[in-house]
Amino acid sequence: MNQKEGRMAEKKTIPEHVAFILDGNGRWAKKRGMPRTFGHLEGCRNVEPVCRACYEMGIRYVTMYAFSTENWKRPADEVKELMRLLEKYMIDAIGLSKKNNFRIRIIGDKSGLSERLQEVIGKVEEFSKDFTGLQLTIAVNYGGRDEIRRAVSKLVKEGNPDVTEEMISGALDTAGIPDPDLMIRTSGEQRLSNYLMWQLAYSELYFTDTLWPDFGKKDLEEALAFYAGRDRRYGGVK
């Protein structure tokens, strides 16, 4: 193997795109005798350092599950606080994106969010659209099945007689973003919870007991070591 081939082989051990399910905020707070909302606040604070660590390790795309379509079932006070935190985070994200050269996109059914939150989301997406560093996608009011339903509905309304996989991929919220190579879920739960159901078809899945607010560089390194040891065949044979 020559030097160029060696570099190419080395690059393949680092995923281009990592998706996260940010789980365990409430349990993290409960362990400390604090309300669940305190855990969500700490979870928000952990997004930037983890994103920086991802980019430093060579990961180009990160997608994070912030609020699902099912999360509306939570207690009203908790949902209200989550929406407040999301709005604050989106405002702060303008400075975060500028400081780190991050592009930020939001996926999910934005029509289900308040007008104020939709306005703030539009501002951060427009502000960061030309940034060339980490490409950060945040899923808000997002459900994988709902995303597929919306995509297929759009294609049907356009009068497409034969819908292909490529057409569905192009109609999803994540159009233009490569599918995740690796999905990391924190807090020990081992399910997808309606997250990126189409995009994760061939992703490697990594589950850690670490609660999201405690997830750091060491945890990320362990996840990448797991990924590097996987033999990705996509249904074929080597």
Phi-psi region of 134 (alpha: psi -120 to 50; beta: other; left: phi over 0): beta
Tokens representing residue 91 in the block: 């405002």
CB atoms within 10 A of CB 199: 22
How far is it, in rounded angstroms, from Cα 106 to Cα 65? 10
End-to-end CA separation in angstroms for the chain: 18
Q: Catalytic one among 23, 146, 173, 179?
A: 23
How far is it, in rounded angstroms, from Cα 192 to Cα 184? 10
Q: Catalytic one among 2, 25, 46, 71?
A: 71
How far is it, in rounded angstroms, from Cα 220 to Cα 182? 11
- The answer to whether 139 and 65 are in contact (CB under 8 A) is yes
Cα 220 to chain centroid, rounded: 14
**Whether 71 is catalytic:** yes
Catalytic positions: 23, 71
